[in-house]
A and B are shown apart, each in its own frame.
Chain A
């Protein structure tokens, strides 16, 4: 390989990782939520809320506060979801979609120039208000992990990224460990498989489902923050562009395992980056829509292939989407 082609590969892989991290953080969280038996179709809206929160808070107080704030906003939306779907046992699909519309609408409103300006002023009066109207915020700085970042290929791909990329990888590893190796994880998975049985075994179904939805939603909030300050720090309406829904399907693709979610997310991040590179080579110049559809087509095809390979027996948590009530 020549030095030049190596650096092209490096560039592609590295942007696969930075695009994939959006999906990684969100789908790792959703793995946890779904393993407890709740499906959160609100990811899209929560990501949008995370993004707008990180925009305003970065301007007001900087990156750290922005990330924590996005997580908290996600948690509040998760609490709302759990309240409706776990306690009131409303249909999870309906609740999730409602949260998506709420999040998309609210974030769009908050991002409108006059509103954003007002919000920024309220958050921190010492910051010049006009910054909000520029719709930009400083990007998260690259954090080189010396000496790992000097390793060829991997160094630039994995170890010369910003802090949230490392956070995404770490949360995948940690949550995988918790899910499959600890007592909590066993209880959580049991709630998603057979809540009635978990209940008689003395497990607090409601506590676990609340926690799982809130953790998953906070991570969706962080994914939104990453999308903005870590990936594309320029505010536009519909910044998320269905990425929440893609994260949802990547959970199936990774068969509900946070570890496999790493592979699925980066793979998908790669496909998405290629979509931007293909037109550069001239192909599809007249029909950009075709190329834009590529990631979605690939998702659908992979889902079909996976379900064929497992003969329709995708190991989804058996109680996924089913509200639990105690009465017999």
Chain B
């Protein structure tokens, strides 16, 4: 097996030979209709950052869940420090020093950082010494250069800080094997940099870290070793310095994917064509009861992609929610295709040609308990020909569901499968497929449409956005990925502290300029 030979080669090389911390051999895990892990070998060495790459549904999360005791494998052995172990629950895994941070945060928002970290902590005593525990957390945080207040309510923290709380939970329990499932998908570039610094420091301290990611650049920059999975199998595993980006992306996808989307890019389209969306003087109150959006002017023309850039929590979400009718604006006007739609209901907006791709699809875009086709029915069952006089035509809905699943490559055994069985990326494909197959929008509002998607799916989404632009649809897109914004947008709106601090044409935009505007709120002088 490849990892074995790797190990031997390593032993021959002059650098200190890596000691295996965890060896997973011949792991098999079968779900109804899917072979999620097919005879997987995976080795984690002491003191390394190990990147685990793979497309949506490749089986990465499943493999880590097995290592964390959530699933029991159908076959295979796990050895820790050379001796075989049986992991029946996360409790077993934690006792052996394995800790996992899941794709979604598992925190109690109403409780403080300290309460979250020390929930049911062994040796806490009946009346815990909270102030001592707080200073302990402050110490750990300082060690990694975090600014985290142990008394803060977790619900008030940014995604980056929530992640630090998840890490703290593992650290205080003495975890030295940390499994991070797509930790960067919720982080801003700055927070990601911070996390990588933390990971390197942890590796120096002798901990082993598994980083699941879709971004090759992240794997290349932070990891010591990289493993690629495809369709449940390991297809490549080697030291990162011996790997190339081309090799990794080929391994993930199975074929070479075209890297340039460039030729399709418009950007030259006449900007004076009629705006499909015009927002003026918009102010919106956020969940905390303070102004989240302040006096924003903004327009989207037909056949144009407008990207909204900004560090998360600067009002982007509230802006979008006001536009799509989920949040009542305090002041200002929203005009869609010449119709004043300020305060209109989402359904009215939908019927006027607006389509919305919500953030965190798993939470806001689907009903987990329903099947795939029922999720599609939710969106269209109201309209002809999918229903007539209130009676749903299920055959039609099944047909269109099959179309969504095949055209958008939703990886599932059947359209009757529960939506909760879909992997993170496939949920996003389902939502996009549903929205775009079942409606002909004139304005698409997409909040973080590629978050959590693998390269191929991201590529697919980008192509869809560009196709829509070519079809004269206006697109308003939120993204935390600057490269993506630069690649797709014709104009970029930068938000800071609820205000639009500048609107930049793509030809004038550079990552440095945008980064500066995003982090300091320095305007570029261009008028909206």
Contacts and interface: CB of A to CB of B under 8 A. Distances in A.
B120 A189 contact: no
Contacts of A201: 119-120
Contacts of B420: 328
Interface in B278-308: 287, 289
A10 interface: no
Given A183-B124, A202-B91, A197 B106 contact: yes
Contact of B120 (A182, A187, A193, A328): A187
A193 B108 contact: yes
A168 B168 CA distance: 39
A183 B108 contact: no
Contacts of B289: 311
Contacts of B125: 183
Contacts of B120: 183, 186-187, 190, 198, 201-203
Interface residues of A, number: 22
B106 A200 contact: yes
A197 B127 contact: no
A155 B68 CA distance: 60
Contact of A189 (B106, B109, B111, B127): B111
B128 interface: yes
A197 B287 contact: no
A203 B115 CA distance: 14
Interface string A286-328: 0000000000000000000000000101010110000000001
Interface centre among A181, A193, A197, A201 (most CB of B within 10 A): A201
Interface centre among A182, A186, A193, A201 (most CB of B within 10 A): A186
Given A200-B90, A202-B91, A313-B287, A193 B110 contact: yes
Contacts of B130: 181
Contacts of B108: 190, 193-194, 197, 318
Contacts of A197: 106-108, 119
Interface in B363-401: none
Interface string A182-224: 1110110110011001101111000000000000000000000
A15 to B, nearest CB: 37
Interface in B421-474: none
B127 A183 contact: yes
A187 B128 CA distance: 12
Contacts of A203: 119-120
Interface of A: 181-184, 186-187, 189-190, 193-194, 197-198, 200-203, 311, 313, 315, 317-318, 328
8 contacts: A182-B126, A183-B127, A184-B126, A190-B108, A200-B106, A201-B119, A318-B109, A318-B110
